[in-house]
Amino acid sequence: MKSCKDGSFSNGGLRQYGNIEISPSAAVLNYGQGIIENLKAYKNKNGSIILFRVEENGLRMRVGADRMCMPAPTIEQFVEAVTSTVSANERWVPPSNKGFLHVQPLLMGNGPVLSLIPAPEFIFLIYVTPVRNYFEGGLKPINVVVENDIHRATLGGVGNIKAIGNYAGIMKAQAKAKANGFSDVLYLDSIHNRYLEEFSTANVFIVKDNTISTPVLGRTILPGITRKSIIEIAHRQGFKVEERLVPVEELFDADEVFCCGNAVCVLPVGSITLNGKRTTIEEKSVPLIRHH
């Protein structure tokens, strides 16, 4: 699907997966003018295919596009594009509980740009691929490390949207963590280097008694759709939910810590390593994410 001069998008079409043509001076290649989204298609036990809150992804892309000086498809166009692409690839959706069809929408600036200005043309595309569960251990607790030197976002930046440039900057910390046997990295704020922000691709929650806490949304925290759903469910289940600044010290007094996102779904944290010291998260009550 390509943008028109008035910023609207023409109706798109399906084509076989393959390389696409793009200008070497495209804004997405030279200035990072691009946004991604991530969602999944599942099969349930009766074989039907399920998508989760697709319209929320479409809305989040439009919000991010505005920040990046980009037009975006309407939410209706986004939903139709996702459902059409998934339907055309129905045979690739894994069986129930065996994985999922990863759906990757991408909005990018194309056309020749030789200076720091918005692209003259924008392309919206979606590709899909079947994958296994993100962590092979399933719902087993993961081991994470708190990163002190590298930050995933700064105030005034684009940490609260899915700009394509947000991810390459944390690859070094992620690679180091994986090499040292950790499952993921937990990042702190860039000003005080004390308050929790996010994992590499997931939001973070801590549980203490009947209270669930998570970093408050702002200019550095991505408004995760799974995060939003957990907060809504927690309220209905009678939990107190706090969206606030969460000091890193609270991790070690929590009854439970977990992460959530499109890629990881919801996973418990089993241990946290900070400054070389590893602490096991003791489950003092029935684990929230297993109980509910």
- Report the percent of the chain where pLDDT is more than 90: 85
Phi, psi of 183 (to 5 degrees): -85, -35
Domain ranges of the chain: 27-132, 142-280
d(C-alpha 289, C-alpha 252), whole Å: 18
The pLDDT value given to residue 98: 87
d(C-alpha 148, C-alpha 72), whole Å: 36
Q: Is 162 labeled as catalytic in the residue annotation?
A: yes
d(C-alpha 287, C-alpha 268), whole Å: 9
pLDDT digits (tens, 9 = 90+) for 194-216: 999 999 999 999 999 999 999 99
Of 183, 198, 206, 203, the C-alpha closest to 151 is 198
Residue 167, amino acid:
Y
Arithmetic mean of pLDDT, 30-58: 95
Architecture in CATH of 142-280: Alpha-Beta Barrel (3.20)
179 to 91, 102, 259, 277: CA distances (angstroms):
36, 25, 21, 17
pLDDT digits (tens, 9 = 90+) for 143-168: 999 999 999 999 999 999 999 999 99
- Tokens (6 digits) for 158: 């684009």
Residue in 2, 5, 162, 178 annotated catalytic: 162
Beta bridge partners of 213: 206, 242
The pLDDT value given to residue 286: 42
Beta bridge partners of 105: 126
Asked if the model's pLDDT at residue 283 lies above 70, the reply is: no
The pLDDT value given to residue 85: 97
pLDDT digits (tens, 9 = 90+) for 22-37: 999 999 999 999 999 9
Phi, psi of 160 (to 5 degrees): -95, 10
CATH no. of 27-132 = 3.30.470.10
The pLDDT value given to residue 64: 97
Residue 162 per-residue DSSP state: T
Asked if the model's pLDDT at residue 288 lies above 50, the reply is: yes
Arithmetic mean of pLDDT, 64-79: 97
